[in-house]
Amino acid sequence: MSGRNFPTAQDAENAFYEALERCDLEGMMAVWAEDEDIVCVHPAGPRLTGQDQVRESWARIFSGGPRARVHIASQVAISGMMLVVHSVHENFTLEGGSKGDARPAPVVATNAYLRTSAGWRMIVHHASPAPSQPEPAARQAAPKMLH
């Protein structure tokens, strides 16, 4: 598929959101593990599993071209040797919008990454709309390392 190699789960996450912003289907699929157990849940969507369903969903989402910037905030990271889980807030800004415009509701996402022979790859992306209210207590904790 792709020769890209992500040395850390964070590198894979950065590439995931860059591909999402650019509507870059090949860049997006290069982030995912080449595995039929990959799981993707788009906001308000059903669970998709496997390369075919996941690729098809991103192709459909990207068909309209780039329209939004996404700012990732409030990351919580739980890191094992072979598996890493990140929880993030995805804050989207629509292209052409000004600061005064109504902004889309934030999305909360759980992303899991797997250490493969080809570096770290995404294995789970679960995103759902979150009520647009600030989190009661802002978190700036350092990533938790288990090893």
Site string for a copy of itself, 28-67 (x = CB under 8 A): -------xxx-x-x-xxxxx-xx--x--------------
Query: Does 14 participate in binding a copy of itself (rule CB under 8 A)?
Result: no
Q: Which tokens is 80 given?
A: 């094992």
Angle in degrees, CA 28, 105, 143, rounded to 5? 60
- Ramachandran area for residue 47 (φ above 0: left; ψ -120 to 50: alpha; else beta): beta
In 3D space, the residue among 52, 11, 49 whose CA is nearest the CA of residue 31 turns out to be 11
Among 61, 70, 76, 118, binds a copy of itself (CB under 8 A): 76
CB 37 within 8 A of CB 65: no
For 116, phi and psi rounded to 5 degrees?
Answer: -110, 175
Q: Is 97 in the site for a copy of itself (CB under 8 A)?
A: no
Among 74, 104, 118, 119, binds a copy of itself (CB under 8 A): 74
136 binds a copy of itself (CB under 8 A): yes
Q: Which residues lie near a copy of itself (CB under 8 A)?
A: 35-37, 39, 41, 43-47, 49-50, 53, 74, 76, 78-85, 87, 89, 108, 110, 112, 114-115, 123-124, 126, 128-131, 133, 135-137, 139, 141, 144, 146-147
